[in-house]
Amino acid sequence: MVTTEEYALRDKIEENLVDMFQPVRPFSPNESHIVDKYKDGSFGVSTLSFALYSNGNNLRGKSNNPFGLIYEDGNNLFSIGYFKRELDTRDSEGYITIVAPRGRDLESNCDCIAQFTEEVLKSDIPCKGIYARFLNLNQYKSLLNKDFLPIEESPWHPEAFKEDDTYNNSIVDINSPSKEIKRNTNRFNNFLKRNSLSYSLNKFSQYDVDYARNILKSHFSMLSKSGKMIGSTPEDHHNSIDLEILNLTGVSAWMGHLGDAPVSFFVGESLSNNEFGLYTGYTLREAKKLNFHRVNDWTGFTAIPTYSYSILIEKLKKLNFNKLNFGGSELPSLNRYKRRLGAKHDPTYWVFKPKN
């Protein structure tokens, strides 16, 4: 349970950052047109990325600014969050995170990041350091030359040192489906035929919000029970259900149904004219959660996640996308799964600077 004091801590930090830096302000989805100007086709630069990776819903970084902050001065842009690491104690200070810095002055020299970081760390803002993530290679090299540390020297998590950027097989050519997609599509089609069922993927509506929350809750509950929940929480994806975000141009969302039962929830955003970034994509794969009475033979049901992706890919083809970016992974098992789907390597970089 989040205490009033923990709410107040991040709120106070965000107030201080807004007071300290003229370009810093709370982020709102209605500023998506500003983010669009900085898009470069990378997963980190989008309204959904900022709203999720700097979100104020996470229990280790709760805020009355649900979409976090942005730094935007007309030439440069990045989002800002404040979180405690998963293994930090409740009374420990957290860390400021800089997400996907882009702009005219951030292509290589990164002076804007260095100056922002220096001023924050010499202030009395209670944080143990600053992480910068979704860097390109030139930015990574530049910041190492400005006394930032490689992430390996201060991992975000002992098992996932760059959280869900730890493993980077992420980009799928949707015009060339992998053998894994074809095989599991056939398996699940056979499941549907044997049980006289159908799977449909339809545009998300306001009436699907509660169903989406239940899918998120069930998925993360499953991960927790299996010991595979690292870093992320269901609350990290609550902004994916925010209707203000879902109504933005460039953002698309779908709800998948097995028969009449809601089982899949997908939300993503166009990263360029031909690439789509999937930020929230979950399908229930525990048969007992569905409580179906019509199923006589569950053989092949476990193929439902891959099958649902195949249906999503068909939707994206019709929207003229040819690449699907899943983003990175916290665990090698998830990265292997994406690799089997045909995902190619797309590295991203983190750095860290401690408060002395």
**CATH number of residue 303's parent domain:** 3.40.630.30
Q: 163 and 33 in one domain?
A: yes
Asked if 254 and 264 count as a contact pair (C-beta separation under 8 A), the reply is: yes
Per-residue tokens: 28: 């709102």
Which carries the bigger pLDDT value, residue 293 or residue 253?
A: 253
Q: What is the mean pLDDT of residues 36-46?
A: 97
Cβ neighbours, 10 Å, residue 152: 10
Q: 331 and 254 in one domain?
A: yes
Q: 203 and 246 in one domain?
A: yes
Q: 206 and 144 in one domain?
A: no
Q: 70 and 46 in one domain?
A: yes
pLDDT computed for residue 287 by the predictor: 64
Q: 198 and 76 in one domain?
A: no
**Could you tell me the pLDDT band of residue 89, with boundaries at 50, 70 and 90?**
confident
pLDDT computed for residue 295 by the predictor: 82
pLDDT computed for residue 328 by the predictor: 96
- Residue 25's domain comprises 4-167+349-354
Q: What is the mean pLDDT of residues 72-98?
A: 92
**Could you tell me the pLDDT band of residue 1, with boundaries at 50, 70 and 90?**
very low
> How long a stretch of residues is the chain?
356
- What angle (nearest 5°) sits at the alpha carbon of residue 70, between those of residues 69 and 72? 155
Q: How many domains does the chain divide into?
A: 2
pLDDT computed for residue 356 by the predictor: 83
Name the average pLDDT for the chain.
Answer: 92
Burial class for 283, CB neighbours closer than 10 Å (0-12, 13-18, 19+): buried
Q: What is the mean pLDDT of residues 225-254?
A: 86
> Taking 60 as the threshold, does the pLDDT of residue 106 lie above it?
yes
pLDDT tens, position by position, 191-205: 999 999 999 999 999
Which carries the bigger pLDDT value, residue 77 or residue 228?
A: 77
Question: In what order do the strands lie in the sheet containing 344-345?
Answer: 199-203, 251-258, 261-270, 275-283, 323-325, 169-173, 344-345
Q: 262 and 332 in one domain?
A: yes
What CATH number did the domain enclosing 119 receive?
3.40.630
pLDDT computed for residue 225 by the predictor: 72
Which carries the bigger pLDDT value, residue 119 or residue 230?
A: 119
**Could you tell me the pLDDT band of residue 273, with boundaries at 50, 70 and 90?**
very high
pLDDT tens, position by position, 120-178: 999 999 999 999 999 999 999 999 999 999 999 999 999 899 999 999 999 999 999 99
pLDDT computed for residue 6 by the predictor: 57
Q: 197 and 305 in one domain?
A: yes
**Could you tell me the pLDDT band of residue 307, with boundaries at 50, 70 and 90?**
very high
Burial class for 322, CB neighbours closer than 10 Å (0-12, 13-18, 19+): middle
Q: 84 and 19 in one domain?
A: yes
pLDDT computed for residue 214 by the predictor: 92
Q: What is the mean pLDDT of residues 256-284?
A: 96
Query: Which residues, 6+ apart, have CB-to-CB distance to 261 below 8 Å?
Result: 290, 292
Query: Which residues, 6+ apart, have CB-to-CB distance to 258 below 8 Å?
Result: 197, 198, 199, 290, 292, 304
Q: 177 and 118 in one domain?
A: no
Q: What is the mean pLDDT of residues 69-80?
A: 96
Q: 337 and 257 in one domain?
A: yes
Q: What is the pTM of this model?
A: 0.94
Q: 180 and 125 in one domain?
A: no
